[in-house]
Structure 1
Amino acid sequence: MEMNALLQAVKYDANGLVVAIAQDAETGEILMVAYMNEATLRQTLETGLMTYWSRSRQEVWVKGATSGHTQEVREVRIDCDGDVLLFKIKQNGGAACHTGHRSCFYRKLENGRLVETEGLVFNPEQVYSQNNR
């Protein structure tokens, strides 16, 4: 899909955002869900590196800029309504989640409790404190 065709097909919400799902291109595992605005979508398409809009910080967020755990775009898809984007990506560094887990979906409901299904890839306290010095 040509960049302009995709940009024209996207339907942003009232805040100018669209849901972006990051999926491991090799395994099919869903790694994370975040948001993009038109500028971050354009930057992602131009650079090949996943770039999101942080709703909590109200700023552009290039995935891995702090942790080194970048995401390279391998394929881009859009849903039938145009309001969700699916990016098949190569996850560099092993962890997509800021908590240090491979996936943001590292917990599951089991017998009425949330249980962690995987261990840490990295300790976020060490990584983020070192990068903020």
Structure 2
Amino acid sequence: MTETVDDRIARVTFTADGLVAAIIQQWDTREVLMLGWMDAEALRRTLTSGRVTFWSRSRGEYWRKGDTSGNIQLVRSARLDCDGDAILVEVDQVGPACHTGTRTCFDADDLRAVAGPSR
């Protein structure tokens, strides 16, 4: 029997409000670009369309990355973590990933963490 998209989505452990964290990573460089939230429908759209769709917690609506900016995310793969409560989506990012116009959302504020010892 062939596994359906619904079978794959059923393996995800969503939060109490029906969301799962989606880490977006550039597929070839491994650069972490952003984190967004998906519900089951956003995940379904992402897995079946080849474009990343998120659920906007602030606006209460779906948004497909790049529809207004042109900075689209083309899906290359999607993987569930070992606990089933986070998704890693590897993409080919066209243009900047961050709404501020930068390549990644993780370049804004260095928290100056103490580096662990070298191995």
Give 1:65's aligned amino acid. D
Distance of 1:77 and 1:110 partners within structure 2: 28
- Aligned partner of 1:107 in structure 2 is 108
Distance of 1:110 and 1:86 partners within structure 2: 23
- Aligned partner of 1:87 in structure 2 is 89
Show structure 2 runs of 5+ residues with no match. 114-119
TM-score (normalizing by structure 1): 0.78
- Aligned partner of 1:54 in structure 2 is 56
Note if 1:97 corresponds to 2:95.
no
Deviations 1:34-75 (A, max 9, x none): 000001100111111000000011100100011000001101
Matches within 5 A, 1:2-13: 3-13=5-15
Distance of 1:22 and 1:6 partners within structure 2: 19
Runs of 4+ in structure 1 deviating by more than 6 angstroms, as ranges, are none
| Offset, 1:4 | 3.3
Matches within 5 A, 1:1-133: 3-92=5-94, 94-109=95-110
Identity %: 46
Q: For this pair of structures, how many residues does the alignment match?
A: 111
**Structure number having the greater helix percentage:** 1
| Offset, 1:5 | 3.5
